[in-house]
Amino acid sequence: MSTYSRLVRFLPRNGAQPLIGEPVDRQVDVGLATLEGKDVEVDVVEGSSVLSPGAKTGNKEVVGKLLSPLSQSEVGTIRCIGLNYVTHAQEVNLPMPDVPTLFLKPATSLGDPYPAPVVIPKAFVGDDAADYESELALVIGKDAKNVTEAEALDYLAGFTAANDISSRKAQFAQSQWCYSKSFDGACPVGPAFVPKEQVAQVADLAIRGEFNGEVVQSSKMTDLIFSVPKIISFLSQGTTLPAGTIIITGTPAGVGWSKTPKKLLRDGDEFRVFISHGVGTLVNKIVEEK
């Protein structure tokens, strides 16, 4: 059982080596505090990964730059579940799926929280079709293969937030979605990792998406079509999910492409994904590649 309420991975204000630690203030939203330029003090731990943090060192550091809770080398291939909220299926006029829909993002799509931007590649800028998807991200804590739904949560380390950035014209031009969702930094993750022990019931987790200050997505996990244990079990059948694997679990209703008029990501925009229970707010500014 984890002894930490949550962990962040960061570069200290006066250092270039990534560190792991627990924010001293248990109430602070780390993502919003860094956006506002406030000091976030962290109790540094011995380990170099949220999966094996070790003991506190006794040292405290101030966050200079937030990083995704796991590195690219830890995450590997990101597993993604499409069409997994009842209200989202309804808004896009698609039938409820009988089995989870899986697509993949490469490790190079992993992005950091603010101040790291989400960059819309110049190859996609002209399409004017960049969209957001607020998502709950699961982190696998130990290698999982052929696990049952009953034992699936034993393999879950904890939770964080993600934004599944997508280019809709490219997405709907193909039967496979990877191309339209896999560009560098198209999966920002963070700001904090919350161990599963801090969440009594997964269904109680709340998610919210804000586009330039307007709430555009809001839900609880009770709206999921496929539960967290179902997703983990399904993805592990015949395929090992290594420790560190991130699974993003689908997005609630309110995506920009489905709105009238459409709300699409453009240069200078800001998107925020909030997850409750201490994860906090994942903030990214949008930059169009020149």
CA 59, 139, 84: angle at the middle one, nearest 5? Answer: 145
**Tokens (6 digits) for 255:** 């995506």
What is the pLDDT, as a whole number, of residue 1?
Answer: 56
Give Cα separations from 4 to 24, 195, 253, 258 (angstroms): 11, 7, 32, 39
Distance between CA atoms of residues 133 and 45, nearest Å? 32
pTM over 0.95: yes
Q: Is-contact 118 153, C-beta < 8 A?
A: no
**Tokens (6 digits) for 117:** 């931007």
**Tokens (6 digits) for 5:** 């309420």
Q: Is-contact 2 195, C-beta < 8 A?
A: yes
What is the pLDDT, as a whole number, of residue 231?
Answer: 98
Distance between CA atoms of residues 173 and 241, nearest Å? 30
Residue 197 DSSP symbol: G
What is the pLDDT, as a whole number, of residue 172?
Answer: 83
In 3D space, the residue among 77, 71, 52, 9 whose CA is nearest the CA of residue 245 turns out to be 77
How many CB atoms lie under 10 A from the CB of residue 177? 20
Residue in the block written with tokens 């506190």: 56
In 3D space, the residue among 131, 145, 113 whose CA is nearest the CA of residue 258 turns out to be 131
In 3D space, the residue among 209, 73, 226 whose CA is nearest the CA of residue 138 turns out to be 226
| Tens digits of pLDDT across the chain (290 residues) | 578 999 999 999 988 999 999 999 999 999 999 999 999 999 999 999 999 999 999 999 999 999 999 999 999 999 999 999 999 989 888 899 999 999 999 999 999 999 999 999 999 999 999 999 999 999 999 999 999 999 999 999 999 999 999 999 888 888 788 888 999 999 999 999 999 999 999 999 999 999 999 999 999 999 999 999 999 999 999 999 999 999 999 999 999 999 999 999 999 999 999 999 999 999 999 999 99
**Tokens (6 digits) for 279:** 């994860």
Distance between CA atoms of residues 243 and 190, nearest Å? 18
